[in-house]
Amino acid sequence: MSKTVLTVDDSRTMRDMLMLTLKNAGYRVVQAVDGAHGLEVLAGETADIIITDINMPRLDGFGFIEGVRQDPRHRATPILVLTTESDGEKKTRARNAGATGWIVKPFNPDKLVDAVRRVAA
Amino acid sequence: MDPLEAIKATFFQECDELLADLESGLLELEGGGGDIETVNAVFRAVHSVKGGAGAFGLEPLVRFAHVFETTLDDMRSGKLATEPAAVKVMLRAADVLADHVSAARGQGAVDEAGSLRLVAELKALCGGPAAAAGADGDDEVVMVDTEVEDDGFGDFDFTPVIVEIEGPAEAEVAAMPTWRIGFKPSRAMYAKANETALLLRELDRIGACQVTLNADALPDFDALDPEDSYFSWIIDIETDQGEAAIREVFEFVEDDCEITLEAIGPSATSDAPLAPSEAPELAVAAAEPAAPDGDVLALLERAKLAAAEMQAAAPSSAAVSTEPPRAAPPPAPAPAAALHPADNGDAKAAAGTTIRVDLERVDRLIDLVGELVINQAMLTQRVGESGLARSSTVSVGLEDLEHLTREIQDSVMAIRAQPVKSVFQRMPRLVREVAAMTNKQVRLTTEGENTEVDKTVIERLSDPLIHMIRNAIDHGLEKPEVRVAAGKPAEGVVKLCALHRSGRIVIEVSDDGAGINRERVKQIALDKGLIAADATLTDEETDNLIFLPGFSTAATVSDISGRGVGMDVVRRQVQALGGRISITSNPGKGSTFSLSLPLTLAVLDGMVVGVSGHTLVTPLTAIIETLQPKTNDVRLLGPNGAVLAVRDAYVPLVDVGAVLGYRKGPTDWTTGVVLLVESEVGGRAALLVDAIQGQRQVVIKSLEANYQRVEGIAAATILGDGRVALILDVDALIDVRRKDARRSAAPPAARLPLAS
């Protein structure tokens, strides 16, 4: 059975890009539009990998990651953050919240799939 | 369509929404409203535009968005105050960003100089003049940054090619560099869901590995914390991909582990005995309590120390060589909950509250509902003809059907309905631009943005509105000094307002300017031969002169309104939407233009009437009342004209049959029925028809699309009996009648071009 990736991003463009890339790579994709929605989706779905944006309304990526890690089911679920920031500050914050790794935007499909593969068991 | 192209289309769609959010957010800030969440939302909008643009390699857009984003970030972090001056710069930056988006879309070009100026202004906002000077350099860094990333990946692809050129494969294998990696993960690494096994798997992808596990630090079982990290590894890897590739594997975990990397020679096999050398050191390190997550520096320090001491350390033989790295221990216990299948998950997965539907599908549905309406009308007529009693079950059932049809229709129309907000949102920018060009101070206020109208109407509303707003600022508002002299505030107000009124949407554009200069309007109309010299016009009629073709009140043709497009074009555009435009003006106080539009272009409530054997439909919204004229109520005026006395007033009488050419000559007024109608422009009129057949809903079919435009006729419809009926354009009808009357009433010497 193919692995399920939950993508959390408030930008429709990004969600579509992620969907296209990951589907082509053989993953099943579940989407959420912000952190709060992401947690709602996780309540009813199991995700093998989570990819999340940082800047989002309602609940940002940091809060979302913390929320995911508090759920015993998802303590060991790999979480990749999407970041355009080249400085390390956001990365560090995301890591402190419990992120597994990151993907620097703009990503090309290979880079994305590569990063997902690296953290996916 | 290519999926990527489809996503690009989505991106531009999203850009439009983001730009609108950006502008409304900034406007809120400008008005002194808004809070940190508004600033955040504004930041996110620019951030998302940049993110998407980056994905599609739209570099100029990315560059500009980046500078904009940086400035907004300063505002977000409180480094830059949300004061009006800064927000004004950002509003202009938002305009330029919109230009960049359009340019990326292939629509129009960006004013490069203007864009650069704003880049400098934005940088000046957040960093002072020094930053502004370094503007271009900074941008380069951003782009170079991504290129460096690409180069890193390029190594994977291209290195093997180079090797092939340099020498035979056997030589290469022999000379393959070997690296020794010392790796000790911390507890924090596992807490972030990183896995040693996966890292080893990745290493295995770039070269042959020999992995040695050091489990010395593993405590007794009763002292074991299942979530702590006790193991360390030494990996010898043969790879020609270089240090960067190895480091890259550990990219995500480098802050959460102790890691050493050294080249141990061109060949791995002979160096194997050295492998265990560092094991004792690592064991010592592991015996210490795990460093707290945040203490990254300390970890690094210790890693360095360990690396230095490793050189001197005596070898011991605790090494266990393992084959492919699958043997790493589970760092965290598999949580029990994870074993449960995703029970009823799909049902609970938050359902989106909106769906996107291709407009064509909705239009098809609307067409079908139109057919349903016609079909139902036909059925009603047949049942009526069959002579069934009104109380019969068939008739009752038919009534229910009628009710349902009406509801379906309303619901389908609601699908197409959209708030006028999308059009209104484009106006603030226009106001800013026109204000700047005319050196006037203007404030735009909007009301009723959430009023919903049919999508088609919305799409075609933009042009007339743009023109009316330009007009209001250019011609309506006075220069600041004139306003002050007249005791008004220097800043003029243009108000844009939408509301529902009796089944139609009304959009008003009003200004608090000088109002229409009727003397001048009359003079211009006279000079251009639009009216007769001795014409006596009411104020309302004078105001309406500006809608005549060829009329332009601007003394000097300005850059703004004088583009060869007059108010007559606006009126035509509005009429094409089945709407009316009217004007009220108050000298010294300002003018108001009102657009009245049907909510939908597809269905209309009409009064079905017969004229000379033809069936016609009059829009119900125009009809005030119907009456039977008496002979002495009708007064003839000129050879063809007539007026009807309705209570205290005389109303022009329009013989519909004669105007449309169904019949000629005077009619016996008393045999017909009069529909008293009211139009937006021409006041009231009495339409004479032969008989009223009933009131019903009709589906509008375009006459222009299927035949051609006919004066006095708005559209056509199909009746219950399958015949085509024309829908009257009440205003146009009155106009035709008025022109006829003037033609015959005007004295031969009149300077009327139409006179014959």
Contact at 8 Å (CB) between B421 and B449? Answer: yes
Using the Cβ of B142 and the Cβ atoms of chain A, whether some distance falls under 8 Å is answered with yes
For B368-404, how does the pLDDT look when each residue is reduced to its tens digit (9 = 90+)? 888 888 888 888 878 888 887 777 888 888 888 888 8
pTM for the model: 0.47
Same domain, B377 and B444: no
Q: Report how far residue B744's alpha carbon sits from residue B661's, in angstroms, rounded to the nearest whole number.
A: 17
Tens digits of pLDDT across chain A (121 residues): 688 889 998 888 888 888 888 888 888 888 888 888 888 888 888 888 899 888 888 888 888 888 888 888 888 888 888 876 565 677 777 777 888 888 877 777 787 888 888 888 6
CB contacts of A75 in chain B (<8 Å) are 191, 193, 332, 335
CB–CB of A101 and B55 under 8 A?
no
DSSP structure string for B364-406: HHHHHHHHHHHHHHHHHHHHHHTT--TTSHHHHHHHHHHHHHH
Q: If you count residue pairs, one on A and one on B, with CB atoms under 8 Å apart, how many are there?
A: 132
Percent of chain B whose predicted confidence (pLDDT) is above 90: 2
Domain identity same for B320 and B176: yes
Residues 73-92, chain A, touching B (beta carbon < 8 A): 73, 75-79, 84, 86, 92
pLDDT at B40 over 70: yes
- Phi then psi dihedrals of residue B68, to 5 deg: -60, -45
Dist. CA B585–CA B135, nearest whole Å: 50
pLDDT attached to residue B556: 43
Q: pLDDT: is A99 or B154 the higher one?
A: A99
Whether residue B290 sits in one domain with residue B183: yes
| Among A41, A56, A78, beta carbon nearest to B193 | A78
Could you tell me if B664 and B728 lie in one domain?
Answer: yes
| CB < 8 Å from A in window 185-204 of B | 190-195, 197-198, 202
Top-confidence range, B71-85, B582-596, B705-719:
B582-596
Name the closest residue on chain B to residue A94, using Cα atoms. Answer: B192
Chain B residues with CB-CB distance to A65 below 8 A: none
B252: its two tokens: 């995500």
Distance CA B719, CA B694 (A): 12
**Could you tell me if B295 lies within 8 Å of chain A, comparing CB atoms?**
no
**In this structure, is residue B620 part of a structural domain?**
yes
pLDDT at B609: 92
CB distance from B348 to chain A under 8 Å? yes
Min Cα separation B45/chain A (Å): 9
State whether A44 and B149 contact (CB < 8 Å): no
- Residue A66, both tokens: 């913390």
Report the first-to-last Cα separation within chain A, whole angstroms: 13
Distance from the Cα of B616 to chain A's closest Cα (Å) equals: 49
Instruction: Tell me which amino acid residue B728 is.
Output: L
Cβ of A17 within 8 Å of Cβ of B193? The answer is no
The answer on B709 and B621 residing in a single domain is yes
Residue B212 has pLDDT above 50, yes or no: yes
Token digits for B426?
């484009």
Domain count, chain B: 5
CATH code, domain carrying B259: 3.40.1310
Query: CA-to-CA distance for A45 and B342, rounded, in angstroms?
Result: 6
Helix (H, G, I), strand (E, B) or coil at B237: strand
Q: What rounded mean pLDDT belongs to chain B?
A: 73
Give residues 35 to 54 of B whose Cβ lies within 8 Å of A: 40-41, 43-44, 47-48, 50-52, 54
State yes or no: pLDDT of B525 exceeds 70: yes
Residue B165's pLDDT band (cuts 50, 70, 90): very low
Please indicate, yes or no, if residue B106 is contained in any of the structural domains: yes
Q: What pLDDT score does B159 carry?
A: 36
Q: Of the residues B147, B162, B188, which one is the last residue of a structural domain?
A: B147
Enumerate residues 252 to 271 of chain B having a beta carbon within 8 A of any beta carbon in chain A: 252, 255-256
Q: Does residue B179 share a domain with residue B138?
A: no
Query: For the segment B437-464, what is each residue's pLDDT rounded down to a tens digit?
Result: 888 888 889 898 888 888 778 888 888 8
Q: Under an 8 A CB cutoff, do A111 and B347 touch?
A: no
For residue B234, pLDDT beyond 80: yes
Running DSSP on this structure, what letter comes out for residue B651? Answer: E
Do the domain assignments include residue B639? Answer: yes
Q: B55, A106: Cβ pair inside 8 Å?
A: yes
Per the CB < 8 Å rule, is A98 touching B192? Answer: yes
Cα distances (angstroms) measured from residue B619 to each of B78, B504, B629, B717 = 58, 12, 21, 12
Residues near A4 by beta carbon (within 8 Å), at least 6 away in sequence: A27, A28, A29, A30, A45, A46, A47, A48, A49
Residue in A92, A101, A110 closest to B252 by CB: A101
Task: Summarize pLDDT for B237-277 with one digit per residue, the tens.
Answer: 887 777 777 877 887 787 778 888 887 776 544 444 444 44
Domain membership flag for residue B206: yes
The CATH code belonging to domain A4-119 is 3.40.50.2300
Mutation target to probe the B interface, by most B beta carbons within 10 A, among A4, A8, A16 is: A16
Same domain? For B324 and B363 the reply is no
CB pair distance less than 8 Å for B153 and A37: no
Contacts of B35 (CB under 8 A, 6+ apart): none
SS3 content of chain B, % helix, strand, coil (to 5): 50, 20, 30
If asked whether residues B365 and B431 sit together in one domain, one would say no
Contact B335 A79 (CB under 8 A): no
Cα B567 from chain centroid?
28
Indicate whether B346 belongs to any domain. Answer: no
Residue B432, min C-alpha distance to chain A (Å)? 29
DSSP code at position B749: T
* C-alpha of B558 from chain center: 31
Expressed in angstroms, the distance from the first to the final Cα of chain B is 60
Nearest CB to A46 within list B40, B293, B342: B342
Q: Let me know if residue B159 belongs to a domain.
A: no
Query: What pLDDT digit, counting tens, does each position of B458-506 carry?
Result: 888 888 888 888 888 888 888 888 888 888 888 889 999 988 775 678 8
Do B129 and B185 belong to one domain?
Answer: no
**Rounded CA separation B704/B723 (Å):** 18
Report CA-CA distances (Å) from B510 to B378, B480, B581, B595.
45, 18, 13, 11
| Domain finish residue from B556, B575, B598 | B598
For every residue of B458-527, DSSP letters joined together read HHTTHHHHHHHHHHIIIIISPPHHHHHHTTS-SSEEEEEEEEEETTEEEEEEEE-S----HHHHHHHHHH
- What 3-state class would DSSP assign to B317? coil
Q: Is residue B619 within 8 Å of B731, Cβ to Cβ?
A: no
Q: Tell me the C-alpha distance between A47 and B353, whole Å.
A: 22
CA of B735 vs chain A CAs: smallest distance (Å): 51
Of the pLDDT bands very low, low, confident and very high (cuts 50, 70, 90), residue B740 is: low
Asked if B294 has any chain A CB less than 8 Å from its own CB, the reply is yes
Any B CB within 8 A of A45 CB: yes
Q: Is residue B13 located within the same domain as residue B121?
A: yes
A100 contacts on B by Cβ (under 8 Å): 192-194, 252
Q: Are residues B643 and B730 in the same domain?
A: yes
Kindly compute the dihedral angle of the four CA atoms of residues B246, B247, B249, B250, in this order, to the nearest 10 degrees: 140
How far, in Å, CA of B631 to CA of B643, rounded? 11
Q: B383 is in which domain, residue-wise?
A: 359-418
| Minimum distance, in Å, between the CA of residue B662 and any CA atom of chain A | 58
Distance CA B750, CA B232 (A): 106
* Residue B749 pLDDT class (50, 70, 90 cuts): very low
CATH number for the domain spanning B667: value is: 2.30.30.40
In a domain, B81, yes or no: yes
Beta bridge mates, B636: B642
Which residues, in sequence order, are CB contacts of B345 under 8 Å at separation 6+? Answer: A44, A45, A46
Q: Measuring CA to CA, which residue among B641, B725, B620, B634 is closest to residue B672?
A: B634
Of B423 and B503, more confident:
B423
Distance in Å, alpha carbon of B195 to nearest chain A alpha carbon? 8
Q: Are residues B434 and B531 in the same domain?
A: yes
In a 10 Å sphere around its CB, with 0-12 CB exposed, 13-18 middle and 19+ buried, how is residue B692 labelled? Answer: middle
Residue position matching structure tokens 């009456």: B627
Comparing CB atoms, the residue among A43, A57, A98 nearest residue B41 is A57
In a domain, B164, yes or no: no
B6 contact residues in A (CB cutoff 8 A) = 16
